[in-house]
Amino acid sequence: MNTPGQLFLSHSLWKLQQMQAAIEARLPLFSPGQIWAKSKPTENSVGNLILHLCGNVRYYIGHGIDVQPHSCPN
């Protein structure tokens, strides 16, 4: 029987994979210029937001749950 912790991790992994697939399906619809464009100097670009999402997932999931090393892959 699955524990609540196992159910949480399983659902979280499924949701992360679902969201990753959605981003990967839509990102090619935009040019690099559109991905990195900002409407105002104080706003973030879509590309910058994706970089931050990747970093947060790598840090909090990879290092927090899976105990991966803190070095960034090349």
Structure confidence by residue, pLDDT tens digits, 30-73: 999 999 999 999 999 999 999 998 888 877 776 666 655 655 54
Which pLDDT value is given to residue 5?
81
Distances (CA, A) of 55 to 3, 9, 49, 58: 28, 19, 10, 5
Which pLDDT value is given to residue 38?
96
Long-range contacts of 21-30 (CB under 8 A, 24+ apart): 23/50
